[in-house]
Structure 1
Amino acid sequence: MKKYFYPFLAFFVLILLLSFTVVQKKTTVYIIGDSTAANKEAKAYPETGWGMALQSFFKSDVIVDNRALNGRSTKSFRAEKRWDPIMEKLEAGDYVFIEFGHNDEKVDKPKVGVSLTEFKVNLINYVKEARSKKAIPVLLTPIARRNFKNGVLIDTHGDYPRMTREVADSLKVPLIDMLAKTESLLSRLGDVPSVKLFNYVDSGDVNYPKGKKDDTHLSPEGAKQIAGLVVKGIKERKLGIAKNLK
């Protein structure tokens, strides 16, 4: 009897171990981009990047690895070797959310600013390199700045979002048009009510003794709402990780 039992037991244990391994497989979502998405140090609070809020929308089988950094562009992110460690760790089925533009458009600062042509080439390279590891790149246009003139929201990004859309279209990359989504949100809220989404701080704050009025960077509430718009885009584009949302 034993000679039949032990092989069966070993086979059963093997199946359990394989099942456990499959269950434990996690998908990583890398975020590369600038300060609007980046993790912030405590000394910057209440400034908050939308990437800091994204994990809360997912179940535990998705890990958000936010590599976005203040002041970076498609050019400087690579030049500083920030992309290399991501490529080393990137696995098949992982995602790379790519959101640049705020700093690329600063052509008066040659370390970060790039022409539209260079911006396009840089985005193409990120996409192709991510795909070379069988990962899934997702392009995001930059979020809107709070820039109202006589009650009307005015865009500040020029043709950089258009270039992101063109790359997404030509390479058949999923696109989450964050500029369109955030413009819609800010316009719907209006000039004064939209302040709550941004890093506005009264004087006397421990991190901002003189106060702060920042129409680019987000408040904790703003980060949560913008991350919610990213999640909406994930659903709209029917990305595989939509099934891992809470």
Structure 2
Amino acid sequence: MLHLKYSLGLALLAVLLAFTAPAPPRKTRLYLIGDSTIAQKVGQVFPETGWGMPLATFFDTAAVVVDNRAQNGRSTRTFLAENRWQPIVDALQPQDYVMIQFGHNDEAENYPDRYTSPADYRKNLIKFVTETRRKKAYPVLITPVTRRRFKNGQQEETHVAYSAATSEIANTYKVPLIDLDKTSRELVQQFGEEPSKLLFLQLAPGDHPNYPYGRNDNTHFSELGARKMAQLVVQEVVAQRLPGLADHLAKPTAKNAVPPTSTTKDAQPTTP
């Protein structure tokens, strides 16, 4: 009888401890919305890699969860029309982040199924920003990552109007801006015209079984290119001291080491 009472007492104590134990700290969820340059890729298109794929390796997974919702071929207009945005809004919690990078498909005038005028592009970015802040979460605008395009040995700017529109909205609404268009162009230029092919999906016939006839793609990234672009994003997270992200980086390894920044600037206002 004493043994039964003792067992019941231990069971009751365990239940009480379970209910009174402090809940683990909530992880910051970092949503990524955008196009194929960021998106998760299926095995059939490997080695094509979106820069959102390696991004998670740069953060302490005990504190930050990267939730990549980017989709191939989407513009701001089609991302909204396909109801890909509303589920994110519904799930947002205070202090979460939404990184927003579109432009490649918005500017595609030859593809009316995805093209978005600069005016509508601005309206859509404003919608993403205001609805993120309404949930007391943090928006971050990112200019569209560059395509590889050289002329006379110089990497050209490939998203003039849409990068300018992104920067304009960031400035008007006081949103942190990662100018990935600029930093990725500088990176491609540093590599040089021929070596920069290593950053993109450039394959000769027979190089990979997924591309038996080769691939000459100056938009989508190789594994190396995606990791380099993710490094540029994280470098700006650190430089701008974005709270909840900059203070939760993973311990450096050979794969996720972030090059030091040449300048360190204060974060732009991130009040939701």
Identity, in percent, stands at 47
Superposed, which structure 2 residues align to 1:141-152 within 5 Å? 141-152=143-154
- Letter aligned with residue 236 of structure 1: A
Q: What TM-score, normalized by structure 1, do the two folds share?
A: 0.91
The answer as to 2:167 corresponding to 1:134 is no
Q: Which residue of the partner structure matches residue 211 of structure 2?
A: 208
Question: C-alpha distance in 1, partners of 2:44/2:17?
Answer: 51
Superposed, which structure 2 residues align to 1:62-73 within 5 Å? 62-73=64-75
- Select which of 226, 231, 235 maps to 2:234: 231
Q: Which residue of the partner structure matches residue 160 of structure 1?
A: 162
Q: Which residue of the partner structure matches residue 265 of structure 2?
A: none
SS in 2 for 1:242: coil
Q: Which residue of the partner structure matches residue 6 of structure 1?
A: none
Question: C-alpha distance in 2, partners of 1:131/1:178?
Answer: 22
Question: C-alpha distance in 2, partners of 1:200/1:59?
Answer: 32
The answer as to 2:46 corresponding to 1:38 is no
Question: C-alpha distance in 1, partners of 2:87/2:169?
Answer: 24
Long gaps (5+) in structure 1: 1-8
- Select which of 199, 202, 205 maps to 2:201: 199
CA drift of 1:146 comes to: 0.6
Which digits, 9 at most, give the CA deviation of each residue in 1:158-188, with x for residues without a partner? 3110000000000000000001110111111
SS in 1 for 2:113: coil
Q: Which residue of the partner structure matches residue 95 of structure 1?
A: 97
Question: C-alpha distance in 1, partners of 2:21/2:236?
Answer: 36
Kept in 1: contact 2:202–2:217 (CA 8 A): yes
- Select which of 21, 28, 41 maps to 1:17: 21
- Letter aligned with residue 219 of structure 2: T
Q: Which residue of the partner structure matches residue 107 of structure 1?
A: 109
Kept in 1: contact 2:159–2:181 (CA 8 A): no
CA drift of 1:78 comes to: 0.6
Which digits, 9 at most, give the CA deviation of each residue in 1:50-99, with x for residues without a partner? 00000000001100000111110100001111112111211111100000
SS in 1 for 2:147: coil
Long gaps (5+) in structure 2: 1-12, 251-272
Alignment length, in residue pairs?
234
Higher share of residues assigned helix: 1
Question: C-alpha distance in 2, partners of 1:97/1:90?
Answer: 13
Q: Which residue of the partner structure matches residue 5 of structure 1?
A: none
Question: C-alpha distance in 2, partners of 1:108/1:222?
Answer: 27
- Select which of 178, 190, 199 maps to 1:188: 190
CA drift of 1:114 comes to: 1.2
Q: Which residue of the partner structure matches residue 51 of structure 1?
A: 52
Question: C-alpha distance in 1, partners of 2:161/2:124?
Answer: 15
Question: C-alpha distance in 2, partners of 1:186/1:199?
Answer: 14
Question: C-alpha distance in 2, partners of 1:188/1:153?
Answer: 9
- Letter aligned with residue 242 of structure 1: A
SS in 1 for 2:247: helix
